[in-house]
Amino acid sequence: MPVAGIDLHATYLVVTIVSNGGSILQKPRRIRNSEADRLVELLEGHKPLEVVVEASGMWPWLFDRLDGPDVHVVLAHPKRLRAIAESSYKTDAIDAELLARMRLVGLIPEVFPKPIAQREQATLVRHRARLVRDRTATLGRIHAELHSIGVTLPRGRLHTREGRTWVHTEAWPLLGPQQRLLVQTHERLIDQLSMMIKGLDTKVRHVGRRIPAVQLLETIPGIGPYRALLIATEVQPISRFKNPKHLVSYAGLAPSRRAPDNPCATAPFRPVRIAGSGGPSSRPR
């Protein structure tokens, strides 16, 4: 089966098609993303075939446009493509051809392509996570100003009514005019972010009620609607993991060595990753 390697960019792509025997069927051709019909026409004469593309932020539209009965789109894990990443001589044409040839010899590390509905769920949980990080960073900026005048407030209290009252009474006389303006501005940002996060929490609960796996996960003590949707979004379909150890490794929960000279030390656990795509592919190679 022929293989088309595609080097995908924000505004254009470069495609090369290689036969099962390794000969070039289509020399590198550059096509604008806005002219995707040209790509479809180009691939039409070589079906059935496989298409290999790196799992960058642009893959969803290309996958949705091409994947079908006669076109199998393979997402390649970008961080594991050492042959391309470590190449000292890189061009779009070389990258496209190399993707195709690596697929022919079974060297493409695959990424599971989430379907549209699952991508929507991932967007929702990522959106909420980003807003929470922004709120935490904004709270940290106020803490930094308090530290600069020699006062501290326990973490978490600044996000309470009592904590704000303390800042505006005890710390206020020590803050300069610009510092007070910064605190007031950041408090307004925190209030706005909190309202948006609250709205997303409602959306998370609404989406989760339609997903059996989320409902099942919520029966586990300590797992609420957001965490349940996050886990379900990232690991489904669970059949794509070979065994429990494979899932634990993907989730970043397995301890690993920190340094070769200290084999007894282990890295701290990482939370389940949030991504638009990721993990092993359920499709046979």
Look at residue 276 in the predicted model and tell me its pLDDT: 40
Do residues 212 and 253 make contact, with C-beta atoms less than 8 angstroms apart?
no
- Condensed to tens digits (0 to 9), the pLDDT of residues 28-52 reads 999 999 999 999 999 999 999 999 9
Do residues 194 and 232 make contact, with C-beta atoms less than 8 angstroms apart?
no
The crossing angle, in degrees rounded to 10, of helices 116-148 and 225-235 is: 130
Measured CA to CA, the distance from residue 276 to residue 234 in angstroms comes to 9
As a whole number, mean pLDDT of residues 190-215 equals 96
Measured CA to CA, the distance from residue 27 to residue 278 in angstroms comes to 30
Pick the CATH number of 3-111 from 1.10.10.410, 3.60.150.10, 3.30.590.10, 3.30.420.40: 3.30.420.40
Give the up-direction half-sphere exposure of residue 26: CA atoms within 13 A in the CB hemisphere. 22
| 20-24, 54-58, 215-219, 258-262: the lowest-pLDDT one | 258-262
Residue whose C-alpha is closest to residue 62's, from 110, 6, 108: 6
59 band by pLDDT with thresholds 50, 70 and 90? very high
Look at residue 242 in the predicted model and tell me its pLDDT: 87
pTM, to two decimals: 0.79
Do residues 36 and 65 make contact, with C-beta atoms less than 8 angstroms apart?
yes
Domain assignments of the chain as residue spans, ordered by start = 3-111, 116-227
Do residues 157 and 170 make contact, with C-beta atoms less than 8 angstroms apart?
no
DSSP 236: -
Percent of the chain with pLDDT over 90: 74
Measured CA to CA, the distance from residue 8 to residue 48 in angstroms comes to 21
Segment (H or E) for 130: helix 116-148
Do residues 143 and 118 make contact, with C-beta atoms less than 8 angstroms apart?
no
Q: Which residue has the tokens 């996570």?
A: 129
| 160-169, 198-207, 259-268: the lowest-pLDDT one | 259-268
Look at residue 249 in the predicted model and tell me its pLDDT: 82
270 band by pLDDT with thresholds 50, 70 and 90? very low
Question: Which residues touch 193 (CB under 8 Å, ≥6 apart)?
Answer: 131, 134, 135, 138
Per the structure block, which two tokens stand in for 273? 């990753």
